[in-house]
Amino acid sequence: MRTDGTPRRTADGLALTLDVDGSRPLPELTAALDTACDLLEAARPERLVLLLRLLPAPHHPRSWPGDVDVRAVGRWEKAVHRLERQGALALAVAAGPCGGPALDLLLATDFRIAAPDLRLLLPVNDGHFWPGLAVYRLARQLGGARARQIVLWGDALGADRALELGLVDQVSADVTEAAHTATVLMGRISDRELAVRRALLLEAPSAEYSDAVGAHLAACDRELRRLAATTARTTEARPDGAPDVPLEVPLDGPQDGRPDAGPDGPRDRPSDAPGARP
Protein backbone atom coordinates (compact mmCIF):
# COMPACT_ATOMS: atom_id res chain seq x y z
CA MET A 1 0.00 0.00 0.00
CA ARG A 2 1.41 3.39 -0.97
CA THR A 3 1.82 5.85 1.88
CA ASP A 4 3.56 8.69 0.05
CA GLY A 5 0.48 10.88 0.36
CA THR A 6 -0.25 10.93 -3.37
CA PRO A 7 -3.97 10.88 -4.24
CA ARG A 8 -4.80 8.50 -7.07
CA ARG A 9 -7.79 7.14 -8.97
CA THR A 10 -9.12 3.67 -8.29
CA ALA A 11 -9.01 1.18 -11.16
CA ASP A 12 -12.73 1.60 -11.87
CA GLY A 13 -12.41 5.39 -11.93
CA LEU A 14 -15.18 5.90 -9.37
CA ALA A 15 -13.07 7.22 -6.52
CA LEU A 16 -10.01 9.24 -5.65
CA THR A 17 -8.02 7.44 -2.95
CA LEU A 18 -5.72 8.99 -0.37
CA ASP A 19 -3.75 6.88 2.13
CA VAL A 20 -3.27 8.81 5.37
CA ASP A 21 -0.23 7.86 7.44
CA GLY A 22 -0.45 9.72 10.73
CA SER A 23 3.27 9.30 11.39
CA ARG A 24 4.15 11.67 8.55
CA PRO A 25 4.89 15.34 9.35
CA LEU A 26 1.83 17.57 9.63
CA PRO A 27 2.80 19.86 6.70
CA GLU A 28 3.02 16.81 4.41
CA LEU A 29 -0.43 15.62 5.50
CA THR A 30 -1.85 19.08 4.90
CA ALA A 31 -0.34 19.25 1.41
CA ALA A 32 -1.69 15.80 0.51
CA LEU A 33 -5.21 16.71 1.66
CA ASP A 34 -5.14 20.00 -0.24
CA THR A 35 -3.98 18.16 -3.36
CA ALA A 36 -6.88 15.73 -3.06
CA CYS A 37 -9.34 18.62 -2.73
CA ASP A 38 -7.78 20.32 -5.78
CA LEU A 39 -8.29 17.17 -7.84
CA LEU A 40 -11.89 16.79 -6.72
CA GLU A 41 -12.69 20.38 -7.64
CA ALA A 42 -10.97 20.05 -11.01
CA ALA A 43 -13.01 16.92 -11.81
CA ARG A 44 -16.40 18.65 -11.55
CA PRO A 45 -19.06 17.90 -12.70
CA GLU A 46 -17.80 14.30 -12.68
CA ARG A 47 -19.15 12.44 -9.66
CA LEU A 48 -16.12 11.22 -7.73
CA VAL A 49 -15.99 9.79 -4.23
CA LEU A 50 -13.01 10.62 -2.01
CA LEU A 51 -11.85 7.46 -0.27
CA LEU A 52 -9.60 8.10 2.74
CA ARG A 53 -7.75 5.02 3.94
CA LEU A 54 -6.68 5.85 7.47
CA LEU A 55 -3.66 3.71 8.25
CA PRO A 56 -3.22 2.39 11.80
CA ALA A 57 -1.43 4.84 14.06
CA PRO A 58 2.23 4.24 15.01
CA HIS A 59 3.38 2.77 18.31
CA HIS A 60 2.69 5.97 20.26
CA PRO A 61 -0.49 7.21 18.59
CA ARG A 62 -1.63 9.50 21.38
CA SER A 63 1.21 12.01 21.15
CA TRP A 64 0.33 14.48 18.38
CA PRO A 65 0.91 16.81 16.47
CA GLY A 66 4.60 16.87 17.38
CA ASP A 67 7.05 19.74 16.91
CA VAL A 68 4.95 22.24 14.93
CA ASP A 69 3.79 25.83 15.36
CA VAL A 70 0.24 27.11 15.47
CA ARG A 71 0.38 28.24 11.84
CA ALA A 72 0.95 24.66 10.72
CA VAL A 73 -1.96 23.55 12.89
CA GLY A 74 -4.13 26.28 11.40
CA ARG A 75 -3.31 25.19 7.85
CA TRP A 76 -4.20 21.60 8.74
CA GLU A 77 -7.53 22.58 10.27
CA LYS A 78 -8.29 24.73 7.22
CA ALA A 79 -7.61 21.76 4.92
CA VAL A 80 -9.89 19.49 6.97
CA HIS A 81 -12.66 22.10 6.84
CA ARG A 82 -12.15 22.35 3.08
CA LEU A 83 -12.78 18.62 2.90
CA GLU A 84 -16.05 19.11 4.81
CA ARG A 85 -17.26 21.59 2.18
CA GLN A 86 -16.49 19.48 -0.89
CA GLY A 87 -19.25 18.53 -3.30
CA ALA A 88 -17.80 15.02 -3.44
CA LEU A 89 -18.85 12.44 -0.90
CA ALA A 90 -16.01 11.62 1.52
CA LEU A 91 -15.69 8.04 2.72
CA ALA A 92 -13.23 6.86 5.38
CA VAL A 93 -11.90 3.38 6.12
CA ALA A 94 -10.17 2.92 9.47
CA ALA A 95 -8.51 0.00 11.26
CA GLY A 96 -6.47 -0.46 14.41
CA PRO A 97 -5.49 2.57 16.52
CA CYS A 98 -7.01 5.72 15.00
CA GLY A 99 -5.90 9.02 16.49
CA GLY A 100 -4.34 12.35 15.61
CA PRO A 101 -4.88 13.33 11.96
CA ALA A 102 -6.75 10.11 11.19
CA LEU A 103 -9.33 10.91 13.86
CA ASP A 104 -9.68 14.48 12.55
CA LEU A 105 -10.41 13.16 9.06
CA LEU A 106 -12.71 10.38 10.22
CA LEU A 107 -14.93 12.91 12.00
CA ALA A 108 -15.04 15.10 8.87
CA THR A 109 -16.24 12.41 6.44
CA ASP A 110 -19.75 11.48 5.30
CA PHE A 111 -19.56 7.68 5.63
CA ARG A 112 -17.21 5.75 7.91
CA ILE A 113 -16.26 2.09 7.72
CA ALA A 114 -14.35 0.43 10.56
CA ALA A 115 -12.49 -2.83 10.87
CA PRO A 116 -13.36 -4.89 13.97
CA ASP A 117 -10.04 -3.95 15.61
CA LEU A 118 -10.64 -0.19 15.40
CA ARG A 119 -9.75 1.89 18.46
CA LEU A 120 -10.51 5.62 18.43
CA LEU A 121 -7.96 7.57 20.47
CA LEU A 122 -7.92 11.26 21.29
CA PRO A 123 -4.39 12.69 21.14
CA VAL A 124 -2.88 13.22 24.59
CA ASN A 125 0.34 15.07 25.49
CA ASP A 126 1.69 14.95 29.07
CA GLY A 127 -1.68 13.76 30.31
CA HIS A 128 -3.68 16.52 28.58
CA PHE A 129 -5.84 15.93 25.51
CA TRP A 130 -5.03 17.89 22.38
CA PRO A 131 -7.55 20.80 22.15
CA GLY A 132 -7.95 20.63 18.39
CA LEU A 133 -11.15 20.63 16.37
CA ALA A 134 -11.71 16.91 16.89
CA VAL A 135 -13.12 18.00 20.27
CA TYR A 136 -15.43 20.44 18.50
CA ARG A 137 -16.65 17.80 16.04
CA LEU A 138 -17.20 15.25 18.78
CA ALA A 139 -19.36 17.73 20.70
CA ARG A 140 -21.41 18.60 17.61
CA GLN A 141 -21.91 14.99 16.58
CA LEU A 142 -22.50 13.42 20.00
CA GLY A 143 -23.71 16.27 22.16
CA GLY A 144 -21.83 17.89 25.00
CA ALA A 145 -22.48 15.25 27.66
CA ARG A 146 -21.21 12.25 25.71
CA ALA A 147 -18.31 14.21 24.24
CA ARG A 148 -17.29 15.29 27.74
CA GLN A 149 -17.12 11.67 28.89
CA ILE A 150 -14.88 10.73 25.98
CA VAL A 151 -12.65 13.79 26.07
CA LEU A 152 -12.10 14.17 29.82
CA TRP A 153 -11.66 10.48 30.58
CA GLY A 154 -9.69 9.84 27.42
CA ASP A 155 -10.77 6.23 27.06
CA ALA A 156 -10.27 4.47 23.73
CA LEU A 157 -13.45 3.56 21.86
CA GLY A 158 -13.69 0.17 20.17
CA ALA A 159 -15.47 -0.47 16.89
CA ASP A 160 -18.73 -1.66 18.44
CA ARG A 161 -18.96 1.32 20.80
CA ALA A 162 -18.11 3.74 17.98
CA LEU A 163 -20.87 2.17 15.89
CA GLU A 164 -23.34 2.48 18.77
CA LEU A 165 -22.50 6.18 19.15
CA GLY A 166 -22.72 6.84 15.42
CA LEU A 167 -19.06 7.77 15.06
CA VAL A 168 -18.75 5.01 12.44
CA ASP A 169 -21.50 3.80 10.12
CA GLN A 170 -20.41 0.23 9.41
CA VAL A 171 -18.12 -2.40 10.91
CA SER A 172 -16.82 -4.94 8.42
CA ALA A 173 -14.20 -7.68 8.42
CA ASP A 174 -13.59 -6.90 4.73
CA VAL A 175 -13.21 -3.14 4.64
CA THR A 176 -11.97 -3.16 1.04
CA GLU A 177 -15.15 -4.78 -0.26
CA ALA A 178 -17.30 -2.61 2.01
CA ALA A 179 -15.61 0.52 0.70
CA HIS A 180 -16.12 -0.54 -2.91
CA THR A 181 -19.81 -1.24 -2.31
CA ALA A 182 -20.29 2.11 -0.58
CA THR A 183 -18.48 3.90 -3.40
CA VAL A 184 -20.73 2.38 -6.05
CA LEU A 185 -23.97 2.93 -4.15
CA MET A 186 -23.27 6.39 -2.75
CA GLY A 187 -21.35 7.79 -5.68
CA ARG A 188 -24.66 8.67 -7.33
CA ILE A 189 -25.21 11.48 -4.81
CA SER A 190 -21.62 12.74 -4.84
CA ASP A 191 -22.13 16.25 -6.23
CA ARG A 192 -22.65 19.85 -5.14
CA GLU A 193 -26.20 19.14 -3.99
CA LEU A 194 -24.69 16.86 -1.35
CA ALA A 195 -22.58 19.76 -0.11
CA VAL A 196 -25.71 21.89 0.39
CA ARG A 197 -27.39 19.22 2.48
CA ARG A 198 -24.23 18.50 4.46
CA ALA A 199 -23.93 22.18 5.34
CA LEU A 200 -27.51 22.21 6.64
CA LEU A 201 -26.75 19.20 8.83
CA LEU A 202 -23.56 20.73 10.20
CA GLU A 203 -25.24 24.04 11.02
CA ALA A 204 -28.42 22.59 12.53
CA PRO A 205 -27.21 21.85 16.10
CA SER A 206 -26.20 25.46 16.77
CA ALA A 207 -28.50 27.44 14.47
CA GLU A 208 -31.51 29.34 15.80
CA TYR A 209 -34.78 28.62 14.03
CA SER A 210 -34.94 32.15 12.61
CA ASP A 211 -31.56 31.58 10.97
CA ALA A 212 -32.21 27.98 9.97
CA VAL A 213 -35.51 28.66 8.20
CA GLY A 214 -33.85 31.08 5.80
CA ALA A 215 -31.07 28.63 4.96
CA HIS A 216 -33.48 25.75 4.46
CA LEU A 217 -35.87 27.79 2.30
CA ALA A 218 -32.94 28.90 0.17
CA ALA A 219 -31.96 25.25 -0.25
CA CYS A 220 -35.56 24.34 -1.13
CA ASP A 221 -35.66 27.13 -3.74
CA ARG A 222 -32.40 25.85 -5.20
CA GLU A 223 -33.82 22.32 -5.38
CA LEU A 224 -37.07 23.46 -7.04
CA ARG A 225 -35.08 25.37 -9.66
CA ARG A 226 -32.89 22.33 -10.28
CA LEU A 227 -35.92 20.07 -10.73
CA ALA A 228 -37.59 22.58 -13.07
CA ALA A 229 -34.44 22.83 -15.18
CA THR A 230 -34.22 19.04 -15.37
CA THR A 231 -37.85 18.81 -16.51
CA ALA A 232 -37.29 21.52 -19.13
CA ARG A 233 -34.24 19.74 -20.54
CA THR A 234 -36.15 16.46 -20.70
CA THR A 235 -39.07 18.10 -22.54
CA GLU A 236 -36.79 19.88 -25.01
CA ALA A 237 -35.04 16.60 -25.77
CA ARG A 238 -38.26 15.11 -27.22
CA PRO A 239 -38.69 15.66 -31.00
CA ASP A 240 -42.13 17.29 -30.72
CA GLY A 241 -41.69 18.78 -27.26
CA ALA A 242 -44.84 16.98 -26.18
CA PRO A 243 -45.33 15.80 -22.63
CA ASP A 244 -44.72 12.17 -21.92
CA VAL A 245 -48.36 10.97 -21.94
CA PRO A 246 -49.05 7.38 -23.03
CA LEU A 247 -51.49 6.89 -25.90
CA GLU A 248 -54.60 4.88 -25.14
CA VAL A 249 -54.35 2.27 -27.87
CA PRO A 250 -56.24 -1.04 -27.56
CA LEU A 251 -53.78 -3.89 -27.17
CA ASP A 252 -56.11 -6.85 -27.70
CA GLY A 253 -58.25 -5.87 -30.66
CA PRO A 254 -61.31 -3.61 -30.93
CA GLN A 255 -62.96 -2.40 -27.76
CA ASP A 256 -66.10 -3.97 -26.35
CA GLY A 257 -65.40 -7.11 -28.40
CA ARG A 258 -67.17 -5.59 -31.44
CA PRO A 259 -65.46 -5.31 -34.80
CA ASP A 260 -66.48 -1.70 -35.38
CA ALA A 261 -65.73 -0.29 -31.94
CA GLY A 262 -63.69 2.92 -32.03
CA PRO A 263 -61.39 4.57 -29.53
CA ASP A 264 -64.33 6.42 -27.98
CA GLY A 265 -66.43 3.32 -27.50
CA PRO A 266 -68.62 1.15 -29.76
CA ARG A 267 -70.31 2.85 -32.71
CA ASP A 268 -73.98 2.03 -33.44
CA ARG A 269 -74.48 0.10 -36.64
CA PRO A 270 -77.61 0.90 -38.70
CA SER A 271 -79.28 -2.28 -37.49
CA ASP A 272 -78.71 -1.18 -33.85
CA ALA A 273 -79.93 2.39 -34.23
CA PRO A 274 -83.26 3.30 -32.67
CA GLY A 275 -86.11 2.88 -35.16
CA ALA A 276 -84.02 0.95 -37.64
CA ARG A 277 -85.69 -1.79 -39.59
CA PRO A 278 -84.62 -5.32 -38.82
pLDDT tens readout for residues 26-73: 999 999 999 999 999 999 888 899 999 999 876 656 788 989 999 999
Predicted pLDDT at 223: 86
Torsion angles phi and psi, residue 261, rounded to 5: -70, 140
Please state, as a whole number, how many other Cβ atoms lie within 10 Å of the Cβ of residue 85: 12
- Average pLDDT of the chain is 83
Domain definitions of the chain by residue range: 8-190, 206-236
The secondary structure element, H or E, covering residue 178 is helix 175-186
Q: 8-190 falls under which CATH superfamily?
A: 2-enoyl-CoA Hydratase; Chain A, domain 1 (3.90.226.10)
- Give the torsion through C-alpha atoms of 208, 214, 220, 224, to 10 deg: 180
